[in-house]
């Protein structure tokens, strides 16, 4: 098991498949992009497969989410999903994507064994999409969402980061759009994980503000029927249900005490928290000929020293060196 000294057990593995992205969301990356990882540093599909197998068979991982960067940029994504689906015990498999390319890939991914998908969508207005993501790709994202639902990926979840004076006025419209199509929307508070270090607490749209914006149009009731467990989103029934909306209030209502996540970066480093300042190098062990058991021991040691909280609200908080896109969101 992947246990830490505060009694938490990590069972949910987030795997970043690449640090590259085809969007430039302003809260994530600078317009010119970043210094991408050199190709030889990035784990091959087989290396990802071996580490995921060790996680599942030796360390109690039950859920695997592939992310990035943009995971759909990996040409071998379908075969990585198929290899993961072939594991015994079979983990739950999900992908977090910006949706570009999903129109073509949703059905093959589903066939390969993908169970669930989260698609990021911050706006329904093409001109705001251009301003926020610096690319003109809104139609691709909306087509990707529709293809995911048509392929039987259920529930289709939508992730939205609200930015003040950019897309905060769209909270109601985004929820209505999702309700009409059966997608489950989750608002994510903006976190200090952007490469530019431009996050300002006073400027972020908080969970309380999100509730106020939504309450103008919908009634929201705590979702008593669904236990939150280790899920980052607090969910609410919309207009009596069964439709739901979620809010991930990582900054104003941290949920570190229930965290069950561990992260593997595209270059094979284990991070026990998004905000960790240290990593454990599994790629060196893997390429140096370590056995499965030796890799598992290194992985256990990395999780054992997980801190009790992310510390965003401490006066001494320091943003980690790697931005969200290079860790895997
Ligand atoms: N490219 C994929 C996507 O767009 O979903 C996966 C990676 S992206 C880093 C994962 C999620 O992190 C997206 O929903 C994105 O909006 C969110 N994200 C990126 N930077 C963030 C930040 N500073 N605070 C909160 N969420 C952020």
For residue 97, the CA-to-ligand 1 centroid distance in Å is 9
- Quick one: average pLDDT of 240-269? 96
65 has pLDDT over 90: yes
Q: How confident is the model at residue 287 (pLDDT cuts 50, 70, 90)?
A: very high
Q: Identify the pLDDT of residue 228.
A: 76
Q: How confident is the model at residue 229 (pLDDT cuts 50, 70, 90)?
A: confident
Q: Whose CA is nearest to atom 5 of ligand 1?
A: 97
Q: Whose CA is nearest to atom 20 of ligand 1?
A: 28
Q: Which residue, among 194, 192, 197, 324, has the nearest Cα to 266 in the 3D structure?
A: 324
Chain-centroid distance, C-alpha 314: 24
Ligand 1 pocket, residue 159 CB under 6 Å? yes
Q: Identify the pLDDT of residue 227.
A: 75
Per-residue pLDDT reduced to its tens digit, 24-45: 999 999 999 999 999 999 999 9
What percent of the chain lies above the pLDDT cut of 90?
93
Per-residue pLDDT reduced to its tens digit, 188-228: 999 999 999 999 998 899 999 999 999 999 999 998 777 77
- Quick one: average pLDDT of 53-77? 98
Peptide bond into 19 cis (omega under 30): no
Q: How confident is the model at residue 329 (pLDDT cuts 50, 70, 90)?
A: confident
For residue 28, the CA-to-ligand 1 centroid distance in Å is 7
> Where do we find the tokens 């979620």?
246
Tokens of 50: 């071996």
63 has pLDDT over 80: yes
Ligand 1 pocket, residue 163 CB under 6 Å? no
Q: Tell me which of 120, 122, 249, 327 to substitute to probe ligand 1's pocket, judged by most ligand atoms within 8 Å of the beta carbon.
A: 120
Half-sphere exposure in the Cβ direction for 308 (13 Å, CA): 3
**DSSP 8-state secondary structure symbol assigned to residue 293:** H
For residue 329, the CA-to-ligand 1 centroid distance in Å is 5
CA distances from 225 to 8, 66, 119, 168, 178 (A): 24, 28, 25, 29, 21
Q: Tell me which of 19, 28, 66, 194 to substitute to probe ligand 1's pocket, judged by most ligand atoms within 8 Å of the beta carbon.
A: 28
Q: Identify the pLDDT of residue 118.
A: 98
167 has pLDDT over 80: yes
């Amino acid at each position: 098991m992947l246990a830490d000294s505060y009694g938490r057990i990590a069972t949910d593995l987030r795997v970043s498949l690449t640090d590259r992205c085809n969007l430039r969301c302003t809260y994530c990356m600078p317009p010119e992009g970043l210094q991408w990882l050199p190709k030889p540093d990035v784990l091959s599909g087989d290396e990802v497969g071996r580490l995921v197998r060790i996680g599942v068979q030796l360390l109690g991982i039950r859920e695997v989410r592939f992310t990035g960067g943009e995971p759909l940029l990996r040409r071998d994504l379908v075969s990585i999903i198929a290899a993961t689906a072939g594991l015994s015990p079979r983990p739950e498999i999900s992908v977090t994507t910006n949706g570009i390319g999903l129109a073509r890939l949703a059905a093959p991914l589903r066939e390969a064994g993908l169970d669930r998908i989260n698609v990021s969508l911050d706006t329904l207005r093409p001109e705001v999409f251009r301003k926020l993501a610096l690319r003109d790709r809104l139609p691709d994202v909306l087509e990707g969402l529709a293809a995911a639902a048509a392929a039987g990926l259920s529930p289709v979840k939508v992730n939205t980061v609200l930015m003040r004076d950019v897309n905060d006025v769209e909270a109601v419209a985004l929820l209505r759009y999702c309700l009409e199509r059966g997608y489950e929307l989750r608002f994510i508070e903006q976190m200090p994980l952007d490469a530019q270090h431009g996050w300002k607490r006073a400027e972020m749209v908080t969970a309380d503000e999100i509730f106020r914006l939504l309450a103008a149009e919908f009634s929201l009731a705590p979702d008593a029927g669904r236990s939150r467990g280790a899920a980052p989103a607090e969910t609410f029934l919309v207009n009596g249900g069964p439709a739901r909306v979620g809010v991930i209030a990582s900054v104003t209502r941290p949920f570190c005490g229930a965290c069950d996540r561990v992260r593997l970066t595209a270059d094979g480093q284990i991070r026990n928290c998004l905000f960790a300042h240290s990593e454990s190098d599994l790629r060196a062990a893997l390429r140096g000929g370590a056995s499965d058991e030796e890799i598992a021991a290194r992985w256990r040691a990395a999780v054992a020293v997980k801190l009790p909280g992310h510390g965003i609200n401490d006066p001494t908080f320091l943003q980690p060196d790697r931005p969200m896109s290079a860790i895997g969101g």
